[in-house]
Amino acid sequence: MMTMHPLVKIRRDLHRIPELGFEEFKTQAYLLDCIRSLNSSIIEIETWRTGIFVKINGTNPSKTIGYRADIDGLPITEETGCSFESEHKGNMHACGHDVHMTIALGLINHFASAPIKDNLLFIFQPAEEGPGGAEPMLKSETMAKWRPDMIMGLHVAPEYPVGTIATKPGLLFANTSELFIDLKGKGGHAAYPHQTNDMIVAACSLVTQLQSVVARNVDPLDSAVVTIGKITSGTVQNIIAEKARIEGTIRTLSSESMDKVKDRVRALVKGTEIGYQCESAIDFGAMYYQVFNEESITMEFMEYVQSTSDMKLVECREAMTGEDFGYMLKEIPGFMFWLGVESDWGLHNAKLFPNEDVIEKAVKFISGYIQYKGN
């Protein structure tokens, strides 16, 4: 029987305990236990809410290299059927953050015993999936004290095979915004519709209108998406609904298009309010800034990938994916890249199952790159 790699065991331990944004208490405790067990004199640790900063002091530092890993899970009921399935029913690491954390721990373990010239700052960031941990973490006292000169991060990519890194200079991920619309009319008996203002009818009409926003209000040479993923309304089949809630997401490749789409959404909701004689409220929830890779650092990284035999480089297109790492890249030069994990199931899918072979391979490759940058 083959012995399980220690990092694979860590990934499976973390996979069992997914927690939602700013509720990652067990996750934080597990990560702290792993880091403190290294008993390294060159490591400094500070916590921020449910997140962690880990500084590894260099031998003769002239700069600080940052590395970020997100730590939260998603409100998804797991359907992988694996032996280490989520113990937190209704929550799952369906976006690969368990893999992200494990790779970061592997890097910390490596550099704790083999320090480089420059300082390293590892950031375990909570609440990436919402409500957003990157922006407030940037404003923390610890970040002000240990602020890196450059920063990098990765995201697993089920569509690419293990051994693949995909990235590009400039825009990588879109601007994103949540969308919540509440409608309130007058409910009543199904036999007397004339005495009511039916919010199911109003909501259905509004959803159809929202599909015209991108088609008729965004430059065809730009890109945007308005997706409605959930409608909640009604109680039983013979009562006309008094309330309806529409939940969705907006994604655009430019901040200008985001403003334009939001303005159009407001106008359509106002029209629904007038046309269906109801009250309305809009909440755009958490908004994530675009992930924009600094050109020179990203090009240097891509050249490094091409110079090694460990990984294959793919220069990919930008994606409509949202990532609050964009806030960090807005303030600190750096980049994000996709890491192939070859799963048949995509991100946020209840059956996502990354290939664990990627973990050891990624630690070896990224530690090589960090050593190249920091010596």
- Is 300 contained in some domain? no
Q: Are strands 119-125 and 64-70 parallel, antiparallel or unpaired?
A: parallel
Record the pTM.
0.92
- Is 102 contained in some domain? yes
| The domain boundary residue, chosen from 223, 258, 287 | 287
- Is 325 contained in some domain? no
- Is 275 contained in some domain? yes
- Is 322 contained in some domain? no
| The domain boundary residue, chosen from 255, 271, 287 | 287
Closest by CA position to 184, among listed 281, 266, 284, 282? 281
Instruction: Read off the tokens for 326.
Output: 């964009």
Q: Say yes or no: 12 and 84 in one domain.
A: yes
Q: Say yes or no: 237 and 99 in one domain.
A: no
Q: Say yes or no: 159 and 179 in one domain.
A: no
Q: Contact 158/342 with Cβ under 8 angstroms?
A: yes
Tens-level pLDDT at each residue, the chain (375 residues):
457 899 999 999 999 999 999 999 999 999 999 999 999 999 999 999 999 999 999 999 999 999 999 999 999 999 999 999 999 999 999 999 999 999 999 999 999 999 999 999 999 999 999 999 999 999 999 999 999 999 999 999 999 999 999 999 999 999 999 999 999 999 999 999 999 999 999 999 999 999 999 999 998 888 999 999 999 999 999 999 999 999 999 999 998 999 999 999 999 999 999 999 999 999 999 889 999 999 999 999 999 999 998 899 999 999 999 999 999 999 999 999 999 999 999 999 999 999 999 999 999 999 999 999 998
Q: Say yes or no: 276 and 357 in one domain.
A: no
Q: How many independent structural domains does the chain possess? A: 2
State the catalytic residue, choosing from 78, 129, 135, 342: 129
- Is 79 contained in some domain? yes
Closest by CA position to 103, among listed 342, 371, 344, 339? 339
CB atoms within 10 A of CB 232: 12
Instruction: Read off the tokens for 77.
Output: 């009921």
Q: Which domain holds residue 143?
A: 6-167+336-374
State the CATH number of the domain containing residue 207: 3.30.70.360
Q: Say yes or no: 17 and 161 in one domain.
A: yes
Q: Say yes or no: 18 and 152 in one domain.
A: yes
Q: Say yes or no: 125 and 37 in one domain.
A: yes
> Helices 199-210 and 255-275: crossing angle, nearest 10°?
150
CB atoms within 10 A of CB 65: 23
Task: Indicate if 222 belongs to the active site.
Answer: no
Q: Say yes or no: 12 and 160 in one domain.
A: yes
State the CATH number of the domain containing residue 38: 3.40.630.10
Task: Indicate if 70 belongs to the active site.
Answer: yes
Q: Say yes or no: 96 and 121 in one domain.
A: yes
Q: Say yes or no: 108 and 42 in one domain.
A: yes
Residue 34: which H helix or E strand, with range?
helix 25-36
| The domain boundary residue, chosen from 269, 287, 305 | 287
- Is 357 contained in some domain? yes
Q: Say yes or no: 186 and 281 in one domain.
A: yes
State the catalytic residue, choosing from 19, 24, 70, 294: 70
Cis peptide before 131 (omega within 30 of 0): yes
Instruction: Read off the tokens for 177.
Output: 């915004």
Q: Say yes or no: 129 and 225 in one domain.
A: no
